[in-house]
Structure 1
Amino acid sequence: MSDLLAPLFEPLQIGPLRLKNRIVMAPMTRNFCPGGVPGEDVAGYYRRRAEGETGLIITEAVGVDHPAALGEAGIGESDLPHLYGERALAGWRRVVEQVHGAGGLIFPQLWHQGPMRRQGTGPNPDVASMRPSGLWGPAGGLTSSPEDYVQSQLLPTKPMSERDIEEVIAAYARSAVHVRDCGFDGIAIHGGHGYLIDTFLWNVTNQRSDAWGGSRRERSRFAAEVVRAIRRAVGPEMPILMRFSQWKQQDFKAKLAHSPAELEEILLPIADAGVDVFDASMRYFNRAEFPDQPGADAVLNLAGWARKITGRLAMTVGGVGLNNGMYDSNKQGGAQASDNLQLLVERFARGEFDLVGVGRSLLQDPDWARKVRLGEAFEPFSNDALKVLT
């Protein structure tokens, strides 16, 4: 292993959990769980990443125990996993056993699609989709979603009631208990990309005038209450990681915050509720988030700002080891291996973030982390990898 990359292979303590290195498998939707149940193929898929020396595995997004959590979101997604019901829980126990047997650690990413769910789809097609203010997003936003889906989603619906909000928060808590009982090592929460939690944070989709809307800090209340409910359900020790993003699937150019002060209003209430790690989702890890800031802060990416603002651990993600971002590779048929690990480690070595999320590279090659450690060449990414469980 080169001296340059050695910092990525230092252990890290997250509460009672000790990671053997800083490389994390980022969550990636796979659609290989018929009826929402992960089978042996899914268990083997995650086991192989643990065998390949990935420090922490975060699963694909997994629907929480709420009837409107899952459906189609722009494209057919009939084989999305969920985290309730004995068959699904037995499948997840098998996944955990396989990963632990290979010496790995694994968190599930809890998910509620919220406005992104197409009405009339999923396990409970008659149930209304959940939207904070009945809004999907802006007309004319920069999105890769199909036009027919966007047009159908732009129609306003009924805003979530107080009871709806309470029931969704309770669903996260129930699912957190399932996480603990299945033997997972921690919990990841999907709070980005235009799904339910994110649309409470975003002023475009949260125009409520009650206690769940208003200022940035007030719009953070729902996310904080979800975290607080999960923390109560699993106790003080289990690590909680939360993904957030500026960009949304409804509009890639969207922003929750235009300055560090605005980001602080959003993240501090969530940190105080019990988050241990912020997963700052960016399309490209090497882009400064607020480049107009003075001095060394001008280069910080979104994970760097999350760490600086909250004092919590932070994870970066976005094109690690590849020459383009996810949506660009979708259009171009794949991505080439890149030497951007040097840029990554330069940021890591100055303490900008603590963990490195790797998506498509690990989807293509389960031995990616080992190859990085040994200095071996790793593979380019092909969109064909989306069709199989390697």
Structure 2
Amino acid sequence: MNSIRPWRTIERRKSRQIMVGNVPVGGDAPITVQTMTNTPTEDVRATIDQIRRCEDAGADIIRVSCPTAESTANFDQITRAASIPIVADIHFHYKRALEAADKGAACLRINPGNIGSSQRVAEVVRAAKANGCAIRIGVNAGSLERDLLEKYGEPCPEALIESALDHIKLLQDHDFHEFKVAVKASDVFLAVAAYHGLAETVDCPLHLGITEAGGLIGGTVKSSIGMGSLLWAGIGDTIRVSLSAEPEQEVRVGFEMLKALGLRTRGVRVVSCPSCSRQGFDVIRTVEALEKRLEHIKTPLSLSVLGCVVNGPGEARETDIGLTGGGNGKHMVYLSGVKDHHIESDAMLDHIVSLVEKKAAELDAEAAALSEAAA
């Protein structure tokens, strides 16, 4: 039910591919979704538990802050427990990078120019090479170098790009090329302009983000405008939605963004109406309940929930499972775009969840059979 139309196909920017642990980033690899833990890293149990929740939400990569020696003391316990690659954010202290690399980090988030001498950069590069670590250069409009602020007068796209290129050169001078770059800003226009300029200048993978975007609603809107426009233009190889919300919420929003653009599918894509006085059931509460109860579904499939028969049948024809509101508390259920049966209001929610779970199991079985046949 998800046929590709030429008018909605995105041609991605060609970038070279690097590996973050066992996850490819760039090239023709799927756009990965990242988030960051917010537990004290010294609290190993709490950090691992949060990583587990993010894994369940679908995170491909997760970043963990390592600002102190205490935070890296038991870092190997975290990297061993995680089933996804860990990016160690080491702030300004190069020794944290050395410790994290030795204890299983798949990537180091570091700005080489901020950690001191060329000798320190060389030490970090040696540790990264020895441990198979990638490096993420993270330029941020809120922490630009003083000389660039003096040169440009304020954060601007040119300043962010120049900072990124300066940091890239430091790594390339040490023959290190396994890096990705971010040029983040909380200003949507600034970030988007910087990413466009950098995309034309380098071939490395780009990590997208609108930093300090805000709370769940405001930050989602802001991130979707900025990152969505970049993704639509084919720019971006990995994303992190920065919200003042729990990390697993960032992951869910990231996947919804990619699903809306047809760049990646995971879980149930819900098509639902905004509701009006024509609705045959409470659309808002029904969709809220369905989204919550279907969070565990990882199989890509589509579900339409429409309160009446005005647009309902048309939307239902385009989804795997469809529901349209009817009169007298009886509603029509569509399967694979075809009218199938009626369901009454009091049984509707459980029934739709059951249908989605059944469809997901069927699709999983089909995929497994095809994989086995190919092998």
TM-score (norm 2): 0.51
Provide closer, same or farther for how the CA distance between residues 366 and 188 of structure 1 changes in structure 2, counting only shifts above 3 A.
same
Structure 2 residues without counterparts, runs of 5 or longer: 172-176, 260-264, 272-286, 289-375
Residue in 1 aligned with 2:89?
109
Residue in 1 aligned with 2:195?
303
Matched, 1:269 2:274: no
SS at match of 1:111: coil
Residue in 2 aligned with 1:287?
189
Give the CA RMSD over aligned residues.
4.4
Equivalent in 32, 44, 48 of residue 43 of structure 1: 48
Residue pair 1:23, 1:358 contacting (<8 A) in 2 also: no
SS at match of 1:313: coil
Residue in 2 aligned with 1:93?
76
Greater relative CO (CA pairs within 8 A, separation 6+): 1
* Structure-1 separation of matches of 2:222 and 2:76: 37
SS at match of 2:88: strand
SS at match of 1:287: helix
* Structure-1 separation of matches of 2:67 and 2:161: 29
Residue pair 1:46, 1:57 contacting (<8 A) in 2 also: yes
Following superposition, the deviation at residue 64 of structure 1 comes to 4.7
Residue in 2 aligned with 1:82?
71
Matched, 1:25 2:34: yes
Provide closer, same or farther for how the CA distance between residues 351 and 95 of structure 1 changes in structure 2, counting only shifts above 3 A.
same
Equivalent in 168, 178, 188 of residue 109 of structure 2: 188
Matched, 1:229 2:123: yes
Equivalent in 221, 224, 248 of residue 338 of structure 1: 221
SS at match of 1:57: strand
Provide closer, same or farther for how the CA distance between residues 58 and 309 of structure 1 changes in structure 2, counting only shifts above 3 A.
same
Show CA shifts across 1:66-105 (max 9, x none).
xxxxxxxxxxxxxxx622xxxx32xx223222322xxx22
Say which is worse superposed, 19-28 or 50-59, in terms of deviation.
Answer: 19-28
Residue pair 1:303, 1:315 contacting (<8 A) in 2 also: no
Matched, 1:62 2:75: no
Provide closer, same or farther for how the CA distance between residues 336 and 24 of structure 1 changes in structure 2, counting only shifts above 3 A.
closer
Matched, 1:175 2:87: no
Identity of aligned residues (%): 11
In terms of fraction of residues, the more helix-rich structure is: 2
Following superposition, the deviation at residue 359 of structure 1 comes to 2.3
Residue pair 2:184, 2:209 contacting (<8 A) in 1 also: yes
In terms of fraction of residues, the more strand-rich structure is: 2
Residue in 2 aligned with 1:240?
135
Residue pair 1:21, 1:54 contacting (<8 A) in 2 also: no
Show CA shifts across 1:91-120 (max 9, x none).
x223222322xxx222111123xxxxxxxx
Provide closer, same or farther for how the CA distance between residues 356 and 256 of structure 1 changes in structure 2, counting only shifts above 3 A.
farther
Show CA shifts across 1:112-134 (max 9, x none).
3xxxxxxxxxxxxxxxxxxxxxx
Equivalent in 319, 325, 338 of residue 213 of structure 2: 325
Residue pair 2:90, 2:109 contacting (<8 A) in 1 also: yes
SS at match of 1:48: helix
* Structure-1 separation of matches of 2:219 and 2:162: 38
Residue in 1 aligned with 2:262?
none
* Structure-2 separation of matches of 1:5 and 1:94: 42
* Structure-2 separation of matches of 1:2 and 1:228: 49
Alignment-mate amino acid for residue 86 of structure 2:
I
* Structure-1 separation of matches of 2:250 and 2:217: 17
SS at match of 1:25: strand
Residue in 1 aligned with 2:18?
14
Following superposition, the deviation at residue 335 of structure 1 comes to 3.6
SS at match of 1:58: strand
Q: Higher Cα Rg: structure 1 or 2?
A: 2
* Structure-2 separation of matches of 1:362 and 1:23: 18
Say which is worse superposed, 15-24 or 174-183, in terms of deviation.
Answer: 15-24
Following superposition, the deviation at residue 43 of structure 1 comes to 0.5
TM-score (norm 1): 0.49
Residue in 1 aligned with 2:247?
363
Following superposition, the deviation at residue 44 of structure 1 comes to 1.1
Residue pair 1:12, 1:21 contacting (<8 A) in 2 also: no
Show CA shifts across 1:317-367 (max 9, x none).
117xxxx923xx4xxx97475396476344224333322222226625276
Residue in 2 aligned with 1:347?
230
SS at match of 2:133: coil
Alignment-mate amino acid for residue 164 of structure 2:
L
Residue pair 2:63, 2:87 contacting (<8 A) in 1 also: yes
SS at match of 1:278: strand
Alignment-mate amino acid for residue 107 of structure 1:
V
